[in-house]
Structure 1
Amino acid sequence: MAKTIFITGASRGFGKLWAEALLQRGDKVVATARDLSTLDDLVNKYGDNILPLQLDVNDRAADFAAISKAKEHFGSIDVLINNAGYGLFGSIEETTEQEAREQMETNFFGLLWLSQAVLPVMREQGQGHIIQLSSVLGLVTLPVLGIYNASKFAVEGLSETLAAEVKGFGINVSLIEPNGFATDWAGASAAQTTAMPEYDAVRAAFQAGLTDDIFGVPEATTDAVLKLIDSENPPLRLFLGKYAQPWVKQTYEGRAAEWDSWSEIANAAHGK
Structure 2
Amino acid sequence: MSKIILITGASRGFGRLWANALLKRGDKVAATARNIEDLNDLIETFGDAVLPIQLDVNDREACFAAVNKVVANFGRIDVLINNAGFGLFGAIEETTEKQARAQIETNFFGLLWVTQAVIPIMRAQKSGHIIQVSSFLGLVTLPVLGIYNASKYAVNGLSETLASEVKDFGIKVSLIEPNGFSTDWSGASAMQTEPTEIYAPIKQAFFESATPDSWGNPESTTSAVLQLIDSANPPLHFLLGKVAYPGVKQVYSQRLAEFEAWKEVSAGAHGH
Task: Tell me the distance in 2 between the aligned counterparts of 1:179 and 1:154.
Answer: 17
Task: Name the amino acid aligned to 2:245.
Answer: Q
The 5 Å alignment of 1:16-27 reads 16-27=16-27
Superposition deviation, residue 196 in structure 1: 1.1
Mapped pair 1:72 → 2:72: yes
Task: Name the amino acid aligned to 2:198.
Answer: E
Task: Name the amino acid aligned to 1:173.
Answer: V
Superposition deviation, residue 174 in structure 1: 0.1
Task: Name the amino acid aligned to 1:166.
Answer: V
Output one character per residue of 1:15-58: Cα deviation in whole Å (capped at 9) or x when no partner.
Answer: 00000000000001000001111111100000000000000000
| 1:34 matched residue in structure 2 | 34
| 1:156 matched residue in structure 2 | 156
Task: Tell me the distance in 1 between the aligned counterparts of 2:194 and 2:161.
Answer: 35
| 2:263 matched residue in structure 1 | 263
Task: Name the amino acid aligned to 1:191.
Answer: M
Output one character per residue of 1:119-157: Cα deviation in whole Å (capped at 9) or x when no partner.
Answer: 110011010000000001000001010000000000000
The 5 Å alignment of 1:40-51 reads 40-51=40-51
| 1:183 matched residue in structure 2 | 183
Output one character per residue of 1:198-221: Cα deviation in whole Å (capped at 9) or x when no partner.
Answer: 100111011111210000100000
* TM-score normalized with structure 2 length: 0.99
| 1:237 matched residue in structure 2 | 237
The 5 Å alignment of 1:158-177 reads 158-177=158-177
Task: Tell me the distance in 2 between the aligned counterparts of 1:146 and 1:203.
Answer: 12
Output one character per residue of 1:69-120: Cα deviation in whole Å (capped at 9) or x when no partner.
Answer: 0000000000000000000000000001110000000000000000000011
| 1:122 matched residue in structure 2 | 122
Output one character per residue of 1:221-251: Cα deviation in whole Å (capped at 9) or x when no partner.
Answer: 0001001101111110110001101110010
Any unmatched runs of 5+ in structure 2? none
Task: Tell me the distance in 2 between the aligned counterparts of 1:222 and 1:25.
Answer: 12
Task: Tell me the distance in 1 between the aligned counterparts of 2:237 and 2:259.
Answer: 24
| 1:52 matched residue in structure 2 | 52
Mapped pair 1:224 → 2:215: no
Mapped pair 1:101 → 2:113: no
Q: Where does structure 1 differ by over 3 angstroms across 4 or more consecutive aligned residues?
A: none
Please provide the CA RMSD for this pair: 0.5
Superposition deviation, residue 163 in structure 1: 0.2
Task: Tell me the distance in 2 between the aligned counterparts of 1:268 and 1:36.
Answer: 58
Task: Tell me the distance in 2 between the aligned counterparts of 1:225 and 1:72.
Answer: 26
Superposition deviation, residue 184 in structure 1: 1.4
Task: Name the amino acid aligned to 2:19.
Answer: A
Task: Tell me the distance in 1 between the aligned counterparts of 2:60 and 2:110.
Answer: 7
* TM-score normalized with structure 1 length: 0.99
Task: Name the amino acid aligned to 2:152.
Answer: K
Task: Name the amino acid aligned to 2:186.
Answer: A
Any unmatched runs of 5+ in structure 1? none
Identity rate, percent: 66
SS at match of 1:182: coil
Task: Tell me the distance in 1 between the aligned counterparts of 2:215 and 2:68.
Answer: 37
Task: Tell me the distance in 1 between the aligned counterparts of 2:125 and 2:259.
Answer: 44
SS at match of 2:229: helix
Task: Report how many residues are paired.
Answer: 272
